[in-house]
Structure 1
Amino acid sequence: MARWRPLPAGLDPAVARFVVQLRKLKDDSGLSLSRLAAKTGYSASSWERYFVGRTVAPAAAVEALAALVGADPVRVEALREAAARALTQLQPDVEMCDDPPEPTVGPSRAWRFGRTALTAGAGALVGAAVTLLVLWPKAFDAKKQALVVTARTAYTCTYKQRDGLWYAGNSTTTTDFLEVDMWGPEVAELQCLLQHAGFSPGAVDGSFGPLTETAVIDAQKAHRLDIDGRVGPQTWAALRG
């Protein structure tokens, strides 16, 4: 089955656990981001931030998602609260969100500092400078780790027809659900089949991006399928046939 993109290196463990649970609920729902947005009242772009750990989802959004799949909201809320508590420390790449997202213009990153930083004197400033010098190498290492984690495997298309169906050598699935921001050999297989059918997905890199989504939509139009840019059994059947 296709995988989510790796979480950012250095993400607080409590935040990571919460995001992993959110992703599982999303997978269990079987909904695309657009349909999830329609059913919860939170925009697709907001859910994208929640699913990569950039923003801690508000309680109302978590409750709505849990309700869609019949999950225990108490357990999920406990994970959310633990993630929120983790943000009492400086976490420049993660935001807290207490209210439904509203359209904004310009940067959305919220930099939060502890209360004591607002009242500290010159001594605290010196201490902060020392801390920065100590943590700087670790931050640099985290960036290097992120580059390693997000590295992609090289994929090729080796087309073979078996029992009347086409295969490209990356995956034999006919049922896996794929959508934007997922990656893995199943996505590479999809890209090869799209290419084979005359719908260019861009590079065959195993990453479901905008070009791949456009190619999927074009294929769905050509085969008169439901047009949502998301791949399921019907789209697989059309591309393999």
Structure 2
Amino acid sequence: MPRSAVVTSLTAVRRDRLRRRVRFIVGFTIAYNIVEAIVAISAGTVAGSAALIGFGLDSVIETLSAIAVAWQFTRKDPERWEKLAVRAIAVALFLLAGYLVVDAVVSLATGERPEESPWGIGIALLSLIIMPVLAWIETRTGRELGSTSVQADAKQLLLCTYLSGAALIGLLANSLFGLWWADAVVALVIAALAVREGLEAWRGGELESSVAVLSELGD
């Protein structure tokens, strides 16, 4: 067999393997984020925490993002649907940011004080462990495939890591020090991050900021 044919065959095999990995990652992400969203939104509603509810809503958006990528990679020609998948992710991020800004401003204006939330603290800690690993794997996979949508979805996972840390800070600040306003401030920080990541996803090609750090760690 000519060497060129072997290379072509190996390239095709590698591409199929990477696509299967993407499908596994997004499948796991969907399952995990459904649980995360239920816990975070329920705990946030009980505690009256804007940051925790926002964290849960981001889990819903991550689920939709993963579904968009999963749908894309069930197509015969995934690259054809790249732009549509990325734009869907960006729109979802903008909607999240809008909700968080309104909710945080209302909370600050009315002086609404969130209650303590052990369940919220627990789910935020768990996400801080799981999401960076998933984001790192998906980032490297997306770069090797040359897929903007996979990299955009990885940024969603990385954003979840930021949100986990931010929500945890707000929850602990309220629980330990009684800083009720920290929850709303954290929600505004989350909104700003969502807008930034949404703009980068919308532009499509500019996916090098925070995701690049994860990729460099593995080099």
TM above 0.5: no
As a proportion of its length, which structure holds more strand? 1
Q: TM-score, normalised by structure 2?
A: 0.27
As a proportion of its length, which structure holds more helix? 2
Structure whose alpha-carbon radius of gyration is higher:
1
Higher RCO (C-alpha 8 Å, min separation 6): 2
